[in-house]
Structure 1
């Protein structure tokens, strides 16, 4: 099977959408994701999503916040959702790498026992919030297991931590060995000072900052294609945060419509790279 790009929308993007007073029902959000042409949807442990995924033919990417006291119950609950992958926010910003990796090893073992595929996300306010912490966790994991961590990549956090200027790729792309294992990437447009930037001006025109981000997205996808095995499937999310989350500011255009634009541009890059 050739390598494949599967896109999914974040249920988070549709929080309080189109506004808090007229928030769509969960089913209307699923219907909108299906109509927009996504392959799946990503969300938390919400039981109502299970029948809705079946009704609309959508894959589910599950998001979990986990620490040593919660991961067992959460992973066992996850089995009922039959998720394609599980995205993990691991512990806290002040968790020592040694403690984080000990919990992650236990989680990997339990996930394998349960038939689940888990990915460790690089994310603010977790044990992986900086490149240095993530690298140390990866090193310890290799030393203790002889394996590499399977990461879920969200480069917006590292870019803002380091206040990077474009081009972003020279500082953010990981090794081919690490990238070859990645199966989940968050494509939220960012720059070195903002973890989310508008893709459009609200009138379908791409913003200059988004065009700079797309240069990074193309470098990232090319790097993945050069690294991943021939039958790998990449799950990609244009994960725009909603208004009120701290990601989308009040002056931003419609975050859901922008997410669709991001998805479309990622698919165009993918098609060009594999042609």
Structure 2
């Protein structure tokens, strides 16, 4: 398991009028114990991540097939392998989304890239029904499972779910979860795609505690399908900043909460791994 920070969390940090330069942000990410960083490609980011031994997970957002070659070439030059993709728009039909996905995957795979289509509102995957329709259409067309970048918070809000229903309603496609390696691990509930992580005393909020069993269930399910693989799960405590509305003004600082959440994710992983029975040597 690898923990991946998203530069989005550090937008406007510590304040918009004196935002840290990229070098400071990368230093903070490495010092906090993250294994990697996710964002759009740039020479400065590629160089800075490599200097600090950080994995670089690329990011892209597009619904224009004509733009894919240039975007993917930039990502290839950045040295990334895994790419988080926000694809097209909420009005995009499944057939249109399938053609975009086929084009994207064919070109990306030829470059040695491994894109994963993110589950996200405002894109062609904004509901479970649209996501699974695309995944099934892709498998029918190619014979292969679709790599997904899972952000369960969007589905929880779309479906207005209570924490006790997260596992039953969100883990309905073990095959697609076990196929994937990218997961945005941000506590949420059925009303908010992001909730505060810590109280003033540093303890977890009730909302974060309520999400915790679900997070462990995702880890457990993924491990069940990947016992004999060398694949690693990339977990991103992707907390958004106040700008854009993911965090509210009254929330704790997003970066400080992301660091605390990373520690919690590591603890959760250790707990799940400890549940596993001892494996016999191959």
Rounded Cα–Cα distance in structure 1 between residues aligned with 2:127 and 2:216: 23
Tell me how far apart the structure 1 counterparts of residues 57 and 220 of structure 2 sit (CA, whole Å): 23
Selected match of 1:177 from 175, 178, 188: 175
Q: CA RMSD in A?
A: 1.1
The residue correspondences of 1:16-95 to structure 2 (distance < 5 A) are 16-67=12-63, 68-95=65-92
Could you state the TM-score of these two structures normalised by the residue count of structure 2? Answer: 0.94
Q: Which moved more, 1:38-47 or 1:185-194?
A: 38-47
Secondary structure at the aligned position of 2:209 is classed as helix
Residue 57 (structure 1) shift:
1.2
Question: In structure 2, what is the Cα distance between the partners aligned to 1:263 and 1:188?
Answer: 10
What's the offset of the Cα at 1:149? 0.5
SS of structure 1 residue aligned to 2:43:
coil
Q: Which range is displaced more, 75-84 or 12-21?
A: 75-84
TM-score, length basis structure 1: 0.96
Q: Quick one: distance in 1 between partners of 2:13 and 2:200?
A: 16
- Which of 76, 101, 104 aligns to 2:101? It is 104
Give the paired residue count: 271
8 Å CA contact 2:81, 2:112 repeated in 1: no
Q: By how many angstroms is 1:207 displaced?
A: 0.5
Matched position secondary structure for 1:21: helix
Moved more, 97-106 or 201-210: 201-210
Q: Which moved more, 1:86-95 or 1:135-144?
A: 135-144
Q: Deviations over 1:212-266 (max 9, x none)?
A: 0111101111111112242221111000001112100000001111111111111
| Residue 151 (structure 1) aligned with residue 148 (structure 2) | yes
Q: Is the 8 A contact 1:179 1:228 kept in 2?
A: no
Select the residue among 131, 136, 153 that pairs with 2:133: 136
Find the counterpart in structure 1 of residue 6 from structure 2: 10
Q: Following the alignment from structure 1 to structure 2, what is the Cα–Cα distance between the partners of residues 229 and 116?
A: 24
Unaligned runs of 5+ in 2: 275-282
Look up the match of 2:247. 248
1:218 maps to what in 2? 216
Contact 1:189 1:199 in 2 (8 A): yes
Q: Which runs of 4+ in 1 moved over 6 A?
A: none
Shift of 1:45: 2.4
Contact 2:102 2:138 in 1 (8 A): yes
> Which residue of structure 1 lines up, in the alignment, with residue 280 of structure 2?
none
Retained in 1: the 8 A contact 2:42–2:78? no
Unaligned segments of structure 1, at least 5 residues: none
